Amino acid sequence: MTTNSSDTGQPSAEALARMTENLTKVEGLRDRLTAVLANRNTHQASLDGPNQELFAKAAKAYMQEAMTNPAKLIEHQLEYWTKSVTHFVEAQQALARGTLSAPQDRTGTDRRFTNPMWEKHPYFNFLKQQYMRNSEALAQAVEDVEDMEPHEKKRLKYFSRQIIDMMSPTNFLPTNPDALQRAVETEGESLIKGLENLISDLEANHGELIVRLADEDAFELGGNIATTPGKVVFRNRMFELIQYSPTTEEVHGTPLVVFPPWINKFYILDLKEQNSLVKWVVDQGYTLFMVSWVNPDASYRDVGMDDYVLDGYLEAFAQVKKITGEKRLNAVGYCIAGTTLSLALSLLKQRGDDTVKSATFFTALTDFSDQGEFQPFLTDDFIEGIEAETKDKGILPSIVMARTFSFLRSNDLVYGPAVKSYMMGETPPAFDLLYWNGDGANLPAKMAMQYLRGLCQRNELAEGGYDLCGHHLVLDEVDVPLCAIACETDHIAPWKDSYRGVQKMGSKDKTFIMTQSGHIAGIVNPPSKGKYGHYTNKDLTLNHEDWLAGAKFTDGSWWPRWEKWLRKRSGAMIPARIPGEGGQEILCDAPGTYVAVKARG
């Protein structure tokens, strides 16, 4: 790349032309940025962080500790000062030797600092080492706070971790060697592209900054994702019902209906042919129905959990029975849809309705006594902020949930992608899982608050019962044969909490499987990959630690084990059912229309 005239040392005409072009772009981008910020949709300020009371309590507790045990505080301060001063002296000595080298680095490795300059260049190494020491000191200070309630201490740890992650030198252009090198190599073009990416993300979310994780232009619903053939055979205000086309000459008589979470889109189970649970189930000889939930707008503000049960679950059951002519069916609920499936089963029990022959729960919580990593967001200040937001907008916008989930893994889902997109000017990758992750759905105002207050905060279903649809619903009345799959590293529905809820269910026929990996990869784990194994133990009377200690580990996917369990409860083989046969109306091809509705802002 020619940047200077060979005879004068001045920038070449070509370089000046590129610079002028870049400056012209800046003018246009500035106008776009001003416009999007001027018309930015606002949200409740309380959703951006905890109220100041948390930090005030922490400061008070820290000062009390300093007064009652000053030696401990002084010891930690001296340790931090000693490390910092020693680091400074070693850096000075390295420079005094006249070589551009860094002193010995004792801070360990971190995948944010993979560029060799973090280790070899004295400036960047000094920044990295000092950041690591500052992080350690802050984490230790939080750990030393003792006079706080456990749930407040947990929140303090979470939000202090967010501050530590945010302040990483990799997140700022002057202290990120990768971004600086790219800017020099591209004569600033990477920064222009980064600014374009930033403004595009702001425009896509009405001024809210949500980092785009995937190249949205690389995917088409029904084109290269969500491609399993099927037909939409029913639609109401809550969902579309997809019946998938058979791939076998015969199928099991008992149909299977899957309820995905309405926080996200159903096609996580049908991303592509190689890892599609939908296709795999159809290929095993089952008549499979999928519920595709509506993506609600403000007109759904008064839709509650009862609407999801009555107009969602029970209506889907009725339609599947009508279409197939069967009196009974098997049901699957994933995440919040599994929680709600347990409510529907208790309701059916009280009504004397045996429609559901068996139930499968994918990473579903029914006992929220341990709120896990979501505990920082389930305190009154945040819930009150969400309540104000839903009253204002009629929905809990998908971007609120997206931010919450993302900051549970902030380096992977916020700062890392932001650096690549905004400072390096890179186009987000064409990654189907990340595309799905960014294709969220809104929640109706009433439903969101019922779920957060009654189920998450007060844990009513597991502790006495949950009032819904004119009934008092309890876990003990979930007495159909059930299979629950939980994931070992799930940070959304921890496996031990899922296990505890299953223990409280009334069924005498229970199977519990704990698969390796997390909330998504643990479920979307096709046998062909041979990637993650799973644990089983028939004794569900044990606490979760003893259950795992006595569990048998099996290599490979849990899908075949579950299918074997399902097969025993799915009846004799019959001729395959074709969507639309018997005069059933076909509304459109899969994946339908509801799944295509985007939730922006």
Is-cis flag, bond preceding 591, omega within 30? yes
CB 492 within 8 A of CB 365: no
Catalytic residue among 335, 469, 483, 487: 335
CB atoms near residue 544 (< 10 Å): 19
Short-list 279, 358, 281, 348, CA closest to 318: 348
> Catalytic annotation on 335?
yes
Residues contacting 323, CB < 8 A, separation 6+: 233, 234, 243, 582, 584
Short-list 527, 510, 518, 448, CA closest to 488: 518
Give CA–CA dist 370/491, Å, rounded. 12
Give CA–CA dist 547/528, Å, rounded. 28
CB 422 within 8 A of CB 194: yes
Angle separating helix axes 189-204 and 177-185, nearest 10 degrees = 110
CB 479 within 8 A of CB 344: no
SS3 144: coil
Q: How far is CA 419 from CA 10, 120, 175, in A?
A: 32, 22, 12
Supply 195's token pair.
Answer: 């600014």
* Cα 360–Cα 231–Cα 522 angle in degrees, nearest 5: 35
Residues contacting 375, CB < 8 A, separation 6+: 151, 154, 155, 158
Short-list 214, 194, 204, CA closest to 29: 194
CB 285 within 8 A of CB 248: yes
Q: What is the DSSP string of 476-509?
A: GG--S-EEEEEETT-SSS-HHHHHHHHHHS--SS
- Full strand arrangement of the beta sheet holding 552-554: 552-554, 534-536, 510-515, 482-487, 356-362, 329-334, 256-259, 288-293, 239-244, 230-235, 588-589
Q: How far is CA 122 from CA 174, 324, 387, in A?
A: 15, 71, 50
Give CA–CA dist 29/8, Å, rounded. 33
Give CA–CA dist 239/292, Å, rounded. 5
Residue 282's identity, in one-letter code, is V
Q: Give the active site residues.
A: 335
